[in-house]
Structure 1
Amino acid sequence: MMNFRYTLSTFLLIIAVNTAFSQNVRFPTEGVIEYTKTVNMHALIKRNISSMNNSFYQQAFEAYKKSQPQFKALKSTMKFGADKTLFMPLATKETASGGFFGNEPAANQNNTVYTDLSTGLTTSQKLVYEDTFLVKDSTRKITWKITDEMREIAGYNCRRANAIMLDSIYVVAFYTDQIPVSGGPESFSGLPGMILGVALPHENMTWFATKVTDAAVPANTLVAPAKGKAMDLKGFNTYLTDALKSWGDYAKPALKAFML
């Protein structure tokens, strides 16, 4: 009899705990997500060292290692509503610029990205050195392969998905269906829930959410950027390819970084 009462009490306690937990779980359709982009600068710089620039680059790299951290961290926020997202880089508070390597495209945040999920259109304001472009096109189509791997990010259970984008970039993303908005940082989207983590292992960079604030977002703050030379994605790619054609081996990584 005692065993039965103990088992019943335990069972009822489990139900109570699960009920309380379920009542506290929210599925926000609007709010603000804070992300940190992390770049392994040592790996990034090593990739750009070749026989053509070895003597200069290696010397500059040794100087960089003595004065700068291996990992560069950059902050951003993304406001989201039920069918719109606005990803915005935050100004860096670094006291040092990183010297010669401070302008590496992959080591900075060049894009402000507005996505209208209801129309499938994206407006990206892209900073390319001293120039500003306004790229309007369809939302990037990424063919995701969803896996069974799970991890927690910023308090949310997330599932892993893999993909190849821009023909050669391997992408690992973690999304949560607890935020039922098909968005993500930068131009990453297209999963059945919000993307809270992205890793580009071969590019040596990641974006991971550090905080999710479940709060109302006024519609007038989810507005596409308007400044920049307007063109579509194909035109932007053609423009960059032509502009960088004299850069030799360095053109490819620079083009890849600006196209993300």
Structure 2
Amino acid sequence: MKHTLLFFTCLFILNADAAFAQNKHFTTSGTIEYERTANMFALVKKKVTKSTPDAKYYYDEYIKREPQFRKLKSILIFGNNTSLFTPVKPEESVWYNYDSPMANQLNIIYNDFNNGISIIQKEFFERTFLVTDSIRKIKWKITDETRVIAGYTCRRANGLVLDSVYVVAFYTGEIPVSGGPESFAGLPGMILGVAVPHENVTWFATKVTDSTIDSKTLTPPKQGKPVNNQGLYDDIMKVIKSWGDYAIVALKGYLL
């Protein structure tokens, strides 16, 4: 009798779990609004320490006049296992003397997850590049830590990008698209939060809208000099190789 009762109890639990899974809604298309936050005091200080001693004066002036955090907005639309990330033009620009690639949004990014292709329209000084290559590979390690972002339960993953840049991401399996803000991708669900602690910048979703996206709006950017990742790297290095120690800091900002 006890074995029979246990059998039917287990059967009931399994059926309940299956019914829950069948009824659970997954968002496969829609719009995500992100807010990007850069710690300008930290970014400016890096540039000062890699520059001349006289630059400290400008850093002191900056922290007197400017807010510590610069917030920028962006929009990601997704559907049919593709995504398009587009920055929202800021109302104000960073004080010119301390503009930084890590403080700005330089990319329009189209990802085709079915074919593993990424097309990026990237601004670099007064030049525009159209970078076509494979979707960036990031070495992720998924953890048990969770948090809620924009109403979705997300799991933490730690990763390395550009071989050495430490990244923390939070993704949700409730949006089964392997994308995220900028070029962050490769997890079993949409990335709603990213922190790059050593580069002093974060991205977090503020709103997710579940909706049907017209395929005509999910088209890759088309402007710029056609290059691949290596070609972009070579062109950037031609410009920044004379920047001394700050060249490495700037390179991360342009390539992230």
TM-score strictly above 0.5: yes
Could you tell me whether the CA contact under 8 Å between 2:50 and 2:245 is conserved in 1?
A: no
Could you tell me whether the CA contact under 8 Å between 2:108 and 2:120 is conserved in 1?
A: yes
Q: Which residue of 2 aligns with 1:146?
A: 142
Q: Which residue of 1 aligns with 2:8?
A: none
Question: What amino acid does structure 2 have at the position aligned with 1:207?
Answer: W
Partner SS state of residue 169, structure 2: strand
Give the whole-Å Cα distance in 2 for the aligned partners of 1:99 and 1:136: 30
Q: What is the TM-score normalised by the length of structure 2?
A: 0.89
Answering whether residue 234 of structure 2 is matched by residue 238 of structure 1, we say yes
Structure 2 vs 1, CA of residues 72 and 51 (structure 1 numbering), >3 Å: closer, same or farther? closer
Per the TM alignment, residue 199 of structure 1 is displaced from its structure 2 partner at its CA by: 0.3
Could you tell me whether the CA contact under 8 Å between 1:32 and 1:213 is conserved in 2?
A: yes
Q: For residues 82-129 of structure 1, give each alpha carbon's deviation from its aligned partner in whole angstroms, at most 9, with x where no partner exists.
A: 3100000000012x642311x211100000000000000000000001
Q: Which residue of 1 aligns with 2:59?
A: 61
Partner SS state of residue 213, structure 1: strand
Per the TM alignment, residue 24 of structure 1 is displaced from its structure 2 partner at its CA by: 8.6
User: Structure 2 matches for 1:24-63, cutoff 5 A?
Assistant: 26-50=25-49, 52-55=51-54, 57-63=55-61
Per the TM alignment, residue 245 of structure 1 is displaced from its structure 2 partner at its CA by: 1.2
Could you tell me whether the CA contact under 8 Å between 1:64 and 1:99 is conserved in 2?
A: no
Q: For residues 42-98 of structure 1, give each alpha carbon's deviation from its aligned partner in whole angstroms, at most 9, with x where no partner exists.
A: 11111222375122x21111111122100000000000013100000000012x642
Structure 1 unaligned spans of 5+: 1-17
User: Structure 2 matches for 1:146-225, cutoff 5 A?
Assistant: 146-225=142-221
Question: What amino acid does structure 1 have at the position aligned with 2:252?
Answer: K
Per the TM alignment, residue 25 of structure 1 is displaced from its structure 2 partner at its CA by: 5.3
Greater shift, 58-67 or 148-157, is seen at: 58-67
Q: For residues 2-44 of structure 1, give each alpha carbon's deviation from its aligned partner in whole angstroms, at most 9, with x where no partner exists.
A: xxxxxxxxxxxxxxxx9xx989953110000000000000111
Q: How many residues align?
A: 238
Per the TM alignment, residue 150 of structure 1 is displaced from its structure 2 partner at its CA by: 0.2
User: Structure 2 matches for 1:118-133, cutoff 5 A?
Assistant: 118-133=114-129
Q: Which residue of 1 aligns with 2:100?
A: 104
Question: What amino acid does structure 2 have at the position aligned with 1:227?
Answer: Q
Partner SS state of residue 234, structure 2: helix
How well do the aligned residues superpose, as a CA RMSD in angstroms? 1.7
Identity of aligned residues (%): 53
- The structure 1 segments of at least 4 consecutive aligned residues displaced by more than 3 Å after TM superposition are 21-25
Per the TM alignment, residue 244 of structure 1 is displaced from its structure 2 partner at its CA by: 1.3
Question: What amino acid does structure 1 have at the position aligned with 2:48?
Answer: I
Give the whole-Å Cα distance in 1 for the aligned partners of 2:50 and 2:247: 16
Answering whether residue 74 of structure 2 is matched by residue 73 of structure 1, we say no
Give the whole-Å Cα distance in 2 for the aligned partners of 1:52 and 1:22: 57
Structure 2 unaligned spans of 5+: 1-16
